[in-house]
Amino acid sequence: MKVLALIPARGGSKRVPGKNVRDLAGKPLIIWTLDAVRGVEGIVDVLVSTDDPGIAAVASSAGARVPWLRPAHLATDIAGSVDVALHALDWFEMQHGTVDALLLLQPTSPLRRRESVEAGLALFQKCGINALVGVSPVSTHPYWSYRIEDQRLISFMPDAPRDVRSQDLPPAYMINGAFYLITPECLRSKRSFVPPGAQPLVMDDPAEAVDIDTEFDWRIAECLACGVRS
């Protein structure tokens, strides 16, 4: 199986400025993701899509392929991950031939484990899956989630039982953003990394679900990353 790993790393983060190259427990954030897939069997190349020369320089020096800076229309706050991925995938296949799957790895999920990546690739190949998505157990069960309407709490699941102990709740999962694996055909036809019929890669380690979007997320990742490095 030939897999292209793609790391989308746009510059200009507003909530955590410069986060993709900011030092996390001794190395730039993006390098955590590069290290997780470096040398993994089946991955034929690791391509970084960025609009930022600084990110490009850091990624290139660490061995990633950074053949261009992302076009301006794909570097905005509203640019979709599918369009970014297809731009990179189309370029790579034109230059280097077709691949069997595209592995999208967000650099904001630095604590994904190499073992999880390898397990996902093995499951994908063994079962002939079109799309495999990383999921983690939810921290707040949907039975116990509410919205506020007219200053009143309204359950998102009004028919859910209220007298269930937490340990008896049915398992619930969230997409964690750490792992998306999909065939090029499925991505091009469905234009989604989570198309109908996508299958889950369950990632039970809570650290793998950390997705850095705020300074608070960064502090959590930093504490956990220091434990990983020690």
CATH classification code of 3-141+174-229: 3.90.550.10
Residue 119 CB coordination number (10 Å): 15
Q: Which of the pair, 130 or 140, is modelled with greater confidence?
A: 130
How far apart, in Å, are the Cα atoms of 82 and each of 17, 90, 103, 149?
A: 24, 12, 12, 34
Instruction: Tell whether the model's pLDDT for residue 230 goes beyond 50.
Output: no
Confidence of residue 229 (pLDDT cuts 50, 70, 90): low
- Find the helix or strand (DSSP H, E) in which 28 lies: strand 27-28
104 contacts: CB under 8 Å, gap ≥ 6? 6, 8, 81, 85, 180, 181, 182, 193
pLDDT, tens digit, 9 for 90 and up, residues 96-125? 999 999 999 999 999 999 999 999 999 999
Alpha helices, H only, the chain: 29-37, 53-61, 81-96, 114-127, 184-190, 215-229
Domain coordinates in residue numbering, the chain: 3-141+174-229
Output the pTM of the full model.
0.94
